Structure 1
């Protein structure tokens, strides 16, 4: 069974399934994260939706590059969680299936290419409680505490 985090399902709403990939990217005890340039407190794991016809790993590489400007390697899946949430960028309610990976940030390739995103580094223990959703927080905390493979 895939754990669910966040809001309860709201009756009367139609949710659209949206699969996505997100990365725990550690280097020297710090995590590479992303935030919106206009809202630096909205800290997130880099990642996003898997486009039609795209493999999860290709989506992971693309999303991390778009949101952080970094290339990654050695990606391995750690697990998944579900969340039901309004997605303002798409003006829809989504049932998100979030696949979480651990990977190595290999090298910076430039600034994030997705408008409005900024990359930041934060110690893993400090990052976990600051992440924007409960599922990301749970995976980051387990990772920081050594309960997930590195």
Structure 2
């Protein structure tokens, strides 16, 4: 069973399934995260939705590069969780199926190409509390303890 974080689904509300991939990226006692400015400013695990026809790993490499400007190596799947949420940027209520990986950030290519994103390095011990959503926090706490 995949755990759920945040609010339960609303009765009689239609949710669109949105599978996505996200990464915990430790390096030298710190963790690479992303700050997303819109629609609500928050710190997140780098990652996002899997495009139609795209494999989860290809999406992970793409999303981390777009949101942080870094390439990664050796991704390893560590689990998944679900969230039921409003996604104003898409105008949908979504059941987000979030698959979490741990990987190594290996090469900085430049600034993030995703508008409104900034790469942020946080001390590993502070990373879980910096993250905006409870699913991200739970996985970061487990992987960084």
TM-score normalised per structure 2:
0.96
Runs of 4+ in 1 over 3 A off after TM superposition: 37-41
Answer yes or no: is the 8 Å Cα contact 2:71–2:108 preserved in 1: yes
Q: Distance in 1 between matches of 2:132 and 2:38?
A: 15
Q: Distance in 2 between matches of 1:20 and 1:39?
A: 18
Q: Number of aligned residue pairs: give it.
A: 145
For structure 2, the residue ranges without an aligned partner over 5 or more in a row are none
Aligned counterpart, 2:73: 73
| Structure 1 residues 95-142: Cα deviation after superposition (integer angstroms, max 9, x where no partner) | 010000000001101110001110010011101012111100000000
Answer yes or no: is the 8 Å Cα contact 2:87–2:94 preserved in 1: yes
Q: Distance in 2 between matches of 1:68 and 1:43?
A: 12
For structure 1, the residue ranges without an aligned partner over 5 or more in a row are 146-150
Matched, 1:55 2:49: no
Matches within 5 A, 1:126-137: 126-137=126-137
User: C-alpha displacement at 1:29, in angstroms?
Assistant: 1.2
User: C-alpha displacement at 1:41, in angstroms?
Assistant: 5.6
Q: Distance in 2 between matches of 1:143 and 1:49?
A: 22
Q: Distance in 2 between matches of 1:38 and 1:94?
A: 17
| Structure 1 residues 20-61: Cα deviation after superposition (integer angstroms, max 9, x where no partner) | 000000101110000024799610000000000000000000
